[in-house]
Amino acid sequence: MTTLNQETVLIDSIKKEADDEAQKILDTARRVVEERKKSTDVQITNLKKESEEKEKQQVAAITQDGMRKIESLQRKQLLSLKEKTVDHVVACVKEKVSALLAKAEFKDVLIGWTVEAALGLAERDPILRVTASCMPFIDAAFLDKAARQYKELTGEDIAFTLAPQAMVKGHGIILESKNGKTAYNNLLENRLDRYKDTIQAIVLKDIFNE
């Protein structure tokens, strides 16, 4: 082999080695790029998942907060409706009692209120104060009947003394001790206040099924 041929073979060998090395470098670079691309895709996918999860959590939190506000509003509206219904029933009772004032049978109702007050006050000689609206029902027969009913219930005598001046406002009676230190208020407004819980219970059961 001549010197020229030897040089040509050597050059070709060097070129081949250079080409092989370049190819290796290119292959390695492609693998690195592909691996980085895969890693980036994974990161992007994870970020998307995290973002979607956060969005879901935010949506869920907003939804739950909205539902709580709606439920709170519904409870407030229902409570307001219950209160208005009870107040309406109480107002109807007042109207019916006011209508009874024009009827003779209200006298027996008023006697019952008087006896109830006497039982609560537990005084043997109380002062009977009566509203102007109820004063037409009060006479000697009224006081005698109330005393007899009291004795039938307790076995004790009682003497009601009618106060000369009628109370201007309200409907009903107030029974006081002679010294004025104790009293039993049986005006319609106070009776309704005492029985408001009972009225409310009836309303809740019969109207709201509670």
The pLDDT, as a whole number, for residue 81 is: 75
What domain range is 2 assigned to? Answer: 1-71
Same domain as 194, residue 140: yes
The pLDDT, as a whole number, for residue 82 is: 74
Please indicate, yes or no, if residue 144 is contained in any of the structural domains: yes
Per-residue pLDDT band at 30 (split at 50, 70, 90): confident
Alpha carbons 141 and 148: distance in angstroms, whole number: 10
The pLDDT, as a whole number, for residue 66 is: 65
How many separate domains does the chain show? 2
Q: Is the pTM of this model over 0.75?
A: no
95-149 pLDDT tens trace: 777 777 778 888 999 999 999 999 999 999 999 999 999 999 999 999 999 999 9
Lowest mean pLDDT among 23-27, 129-133, 145-149, 189-193: 23-27
Kindly report the CATH number assigned to the domain that includes residue 114.
Answer: 3.30.2320.30
The pLDDT, as a whole number, for residue 19 is: 59
Maximum Cα–Cα distance across the chain? 161
Same domain as 126, residue 67: no
User: Which distant-in-sequence residues (6+ apart) come within 8 Å of 175 by Cβ?
Assistant: 114, 117, 118, 120, 121, 123, 126, 127, 128, 129, 183, 184, 186
> Of 28, 52, 71, which closes a domain?
71
Alpha carbons 207 and 210: distance in angstroms, whole number: 8
Highest-confidence segment of 44-58, 62-76, 184-198: 184-198
Same domain as 116, residue 60: no
Place of tokens 């030897």: 6
154-182 pLDDT tens trace: 999 999 999 999 999 888 999 999 998 99
For residue 89, what are its two tokens?
Answer: 């029933």
Alpha carbons 134 and 107: distance in angstroms, whole number: 8
Rg of the Cα atoms in the chain = 48
Same domain as 108, residue 188: yes
